[in-house]
Amino acid sequence: MNDITIVGAGHAGLAASVCLQKYNIEHCVLERGQVGESWRSQRWNNFYMNTPNWTLNLPGKPYGGNDPDGFMAKSDFVKYLSNYAHDQDIPIKENIEVTHAKFLDKHWHLRTNDGPSRTRALLVATSTYQHPHIPACSNLASTAILSLNAANYRTPDALPPGKILVVGSAQSGMQIVDDLLYAGRDVILSTGKTGRVPRRYRDRDLNYWYDKIGLMDRRAGDLQDPRQRWSGQPQISGWNGGHTVSLQKFHRNGVRLLGRYAGFDEGIMHFRQDLRENMDAADRHSKKFCRTIDNYIKAENLEFPPDTGDDPIHDPIKDLNVIPEPNQISPTDEGISTIIWATGFRFDYSWIEANAFDKYGYPNTIRGEASIPGLYFLGMNYLHTRKSGIVYGITDDAKHVAARIRDYLKTD
Ligand SMILES: Cc1cc2nc3c(=O)[nH]c(=O)nc-3n(C[C@H](O)[C@H](O)[C@H](O)COP(=O)(O)OP(=O)(O)OC[C@H]3O[C@@H](n4cnc5c(N)ncnc54)[C@H](O)[C@@H]3O)c2cc1C
C-alpha cells in the first residue's frame, strides 16, 4: 500500500511526484497510457505549444535550452516530459487506468484495470481538458461526411479530398485552420465569440505581459461566471516560431467565414448570423489587452519600445458586408468532405465517489485540497489561479499540495 497514489502522468502528476520525493513520501503515479499521454494522443501532428519555452519550469528543472522565446513542437514536449520522468526517478506505472475511487475506513480504495489497490491519500492530476466536447446537435451519422474533433484530427494529408469545415474559432480551431491552410486545403470556419491577442506586443510575448499585468494570478472569484474557468482560450499560435492569428487573416487567405454553428437537421447545417459580432469581439479583446499593457507601462514608468502595430493582414475588414453570411448550408452541395469539431474539451471526475465537486462537477478545493480526507487535485484551471492549469503555474501549486499531503499523512 502506498502513502499516496497520483493519478495521471502529465506535467502536473510528474511535478507532484518530484515535490513528494523531497519529503520522502512513498508514492506511485498511475497512468492509463504513457507519460504525457494527452500530448501524444490528443494533439495533431503539427501542434506546437502556445506558451514560450521560458514558461517551462517544472520543479527542479527550469528550461535550460538555448531558445527561451521559442515554442516546442509537441514531440519535443513529450520528450521533455519523458526525460524529466526518467531523470527525476519518478515511480510511474503505465497503462493502468483508475476506474473508481472511494474513501472508506481511512483509506482510498481504487479499482484499476490491474486490480484493486489501497492508498492513504489520492492526488488526481487528470487535467481540466480530458474529452473533446461535441455539440449535442451534431449527429452526422446519416451523411458520408468524416467527423473528427480537435483531439483525433492528425494531419491534412489524412483527410479525404473536398472542403473541410472547422467548427469553433478558439485556440485549437484557429490553429487547425492554419494547419489546413498551409497544406493548401479549402477551409470553411464556423466562428464563435472568442478573444484574440497579439503574439507579441511592445517587444514581449503576450505571456510576459499576462504575468506582469496580473492575468496569470487571477483567481476563480475574479471571474464573472464560474464556467469561464474552462472556457475557450484566446486565438494565438506557437507554430512556425509563434504568430498572431485572426479571422481577418483567414478571410484574406481565402477561408470562408460563417457565424456560430447552430445545429444539423435533415441534411442542412444551421448557423447564426453573428460573424460580424464574433470578429468585433475578437478585435475588442485584442485592443483591450494592448491598452492594459500601455497603461501598465505608463503607470510603472517603464521603458519599452512603442507599439509598431501588427501585420496589416490582421487589420479590420473595412466593409464587412462583403462577406456573405448564410444561416444554413447543405454540406453535400458545398462539397464538404470533413468536419472538425474544435468545440472545446470537458472534464469528468465521476469515477471518484465523493462529495467533493461543485454543481458543474468541478473539484471543490482550497488550492487543490478537497474537504474529503486525503483527496487532492493538481493541474486544473483556476485550482488556485489562472496559471494553475498550464505548465508555468505548476511548481508553486505542486509544492503547496505536497506540503499539505505531508501534514495530512503525519496527522492521519
Ligand atoms: C489543445 C490544448 C493546448 C494546450 N496548450 C498549452 C500550452 O501551450 N502551454 C501550456 O502550458 N498548457 C497548455 N494547455 C493546457 C494544459 O497544459 C494541459 O491541459 C495539460 O495537459 C494539463 O496537465 P495535466 O498534467 O494536469 O494533465 P494531462 O497532461 O492531460 O495529464 C493527465 C494524464 O492523466 C491520465 N489519466 C486521465 N485519467 C486517468 C485515469 N482515470 N487513470 C489513469 N490515468 C489517467 C491521462 O492519460 C494523462 O496522461 C493546453 C491544453 C489543450 C487542451
Ligand 1 centre distance from Cα of residue 380 (Å): 9
**Bridge pairing between strands 187-190 and 256-258:** parallel
Name which of 99, 107, 110, 53 is nearest 80 in CA terms.
53
Is the CB–ligand 1 distance for residue 377 below 6 Å? no
User: Are 223 and 89 found together in one domain?
Assistant: no
All three cell numbers of 14 = 510528474
Is the CB–ligand 1 distance for residue 51 below 6 Å? yes
What confidence score (pLDDT) does residue 114 get? Answer: 96
Ligand 1 centre distance from Cα of residue 37 (Å): 8
User: Are 364 and 332 found together in one domain?
Assistant: no
Is the CB–ligand 1 distance for residue 127 below 6 Å? yes
- To the nearest whole number, what is the mean pLDDT of the chain? 95
Q: How far apart are CA 134 and CA 387, in angstroms?
A: 26
Percent of the chain exceeding pLDDT 90 equals: 91
All three cell numbers of 123 = 492526488
| φ/ψ of residue 2, rounded to 5 | -90, 155
**Residue 286: is its pLDDT beyond 80?**
yes
User: Are 241 and 389 found together in one domain?
Assistant: no
Specify the range with the lowest mean pLDDT, choosing from 26-35, 384-393, 403-412: 403-412
Q: How far apart are CA 387 and CA 365, in angstroms?
A: 16
Confidence band, pLDDT 50/70/90 cuts, at residue 393? very high
User: Are 151 and 278 found together in one domain?
Assistant: yes
DSSP-derived letter for residue 316 is P
User: Are 13 and 143 found together in one domain?
Assistant: no
Domain housing 264: 133-341
Ligand 1 centre distance from Cα of residue 128 (Å): 7
Is the CB–ligand 1 distance for residue 347 below 6 Å? no
Confidence band, pLDDT 50/70/90 cuts, at residue 163? very high
What confidence score (pLDDT) does residue 295 get? Answer: 97
CB atoms near residue 127 (< 10 Å): 20
Question: What is the atom index within ligand 1 of the atom nearest the CA of 35?
Answer: 49
78-116 residue pLDDT tens: 999 999 999 999 999 999 999 999 999 999 999 999 999
What confidence score (pLDDT) does residue 141 get? Answer: 66
Q: Which of 293, 308, 341 is the last residue of a domain?
A: 341
Specify the range with the lowest mean pLDDT, choosing from 179-193, 304-318, 337-351: 304-318
258-273 residue pLDDT tens: 999 999 988 899 999 9
User: Are 30 and 139 found together in one domain?
Assistant: no
**Residue 199: is its pLDDT beyond 70?**
yes
**Residue 323: is its pLDDT beyond 90?**
no
What confidence score (pLDDT) does residue 157 get? Answer: 97
Contact by Cβ (8 Å): 236, 49:
no
Ligand 1 centre distance from Cα of residue 186 (Å): 31
Is the CB–ligand 1 distance for residue 8 below 6 Å? yes
What confidence score (pLDDT) does residue 412 get? Answer: 59
Is the CB–ligand 1 distance for residue 31 below 6 Å? yes
Contact by Cβ (8 Å): 170, 232:
yes
**Residue 390: is its pLDDT beyond 70?**
yes
| φ/ψ of residue 273, rounded to 5 | -100, 65
Is the CB–ligand 1 distance for residue 85 below 6 Å? no
Is the CB–ligand 1 distance for residue 49 below 6 Å? yes
Is the CB–ligand 1 distance for residue 32 below 6 Å? yes
User: Are 171 and 288 found together in one domain?
Assistant: yes
| φ/ψ of residue 356, rounded to 5 | -125, 20
| Residue showing cell 487528470 | 126
Long-range pairs of 185-188 with CB within 8 A, sequence gap ≥ 24? 185/156, 185/159, 186/162, 186/254, 187/163, 187/250, 187/254, 187/255, 187/256, 188/163, 188/164, 188/255, 188/256, 188/257, 188/258, 188/334, 188/336
Site to probe by mutation for ligand 1, drawn from 7, 38, 131 as the one with most ligand atoms within 8 Å of Cβ, is: 38
106-124 residue pLDDT tens: 999 999 999 999 999 999 9
**Residue 139: is its pLDDT beyond 80?**
no
Q: Which of 341, 358, 386 is the last residue of a domain?
A: 341
Is the CB–ligand 1 distance for residue 172 below 6 Å? yes
| Residue showing cell 497512468 | 31
Confidence band, pLDDT 50/70/90 cuts, at residue 2? confident
Confidence band, pLDDT 50/70/90 cuts, at residue 411? confident
Is the CB–ligand 1 distance for residue 236 below 6 Å? no
Q: How far apart are CA 164 and CA 339, in angstroms?
A: 6
Name which of 187, 150, 155, 148 is nearest 170 in CA terms.
150
ipTM: 0.98
CA atoms within 13 A on the CB side of 21: 15
Q: What is the rounded average pLDDT of the residues 358-365?
A: 95
Domain count, the chain: 2
Which residue has a Cα nearest atom 36 of ligand 1? 8
21-60 residue pLDDT tens: 999 999 999 999 999 999 999 999 999 999 999 999 999 9
The burial class, CB within 10 Å (0-12 / 13-18 / 19+), for 323 is: middle
Q: How far apart are CA 151 and CA 130, in angstroms?
A: 10
| Residue showing cell 448557423 | 271
User: Are 112 and 144 found together in one domain?
Assistant: no
Is the CB–ligand 1 distance for residue 397 below 6 Å? no
**Residue 17: is its pLDDT beyond 90?**
yes
Q: How far apart are CA 392 and CA 368, in angstroms?
A: 16
Q: Position 75: which residue type? A: S
User: Are 57 and 78 found together in one domain?
Assistant: yes
User: Are 150 and 29 found together in one domain?
Assistant: no
Buried-state track 2-41, b at ≥16 Cβ within 10 A, e below 16? bbbbbbbbbbbbbbbbbbbbeeebebbbbbbebbbbbbbe
373-382 residue pLDDT tens: 999 999 999 9
The CA distances from residue 7 to 4, 47, 346, in Å, are 10, 25, 18
**Bridge pairing between strands 2-7 and 27-30:** parallel
User: Are 258 and 366 found together in one domain?
Assistant: no
Q: Which of 341, 370, 396 is the last residue of a domain?
A: 341
CATH number at residue 275: 3.50.50.60
User: Are 140 and 125 found together in one domain?
Assistant: no
What secondary structure does DSSP assign to 109-152, as a single string?
Answer: EEEETTEEEEEEEEEE---S--EE---TT---TTSS-EEEETTT
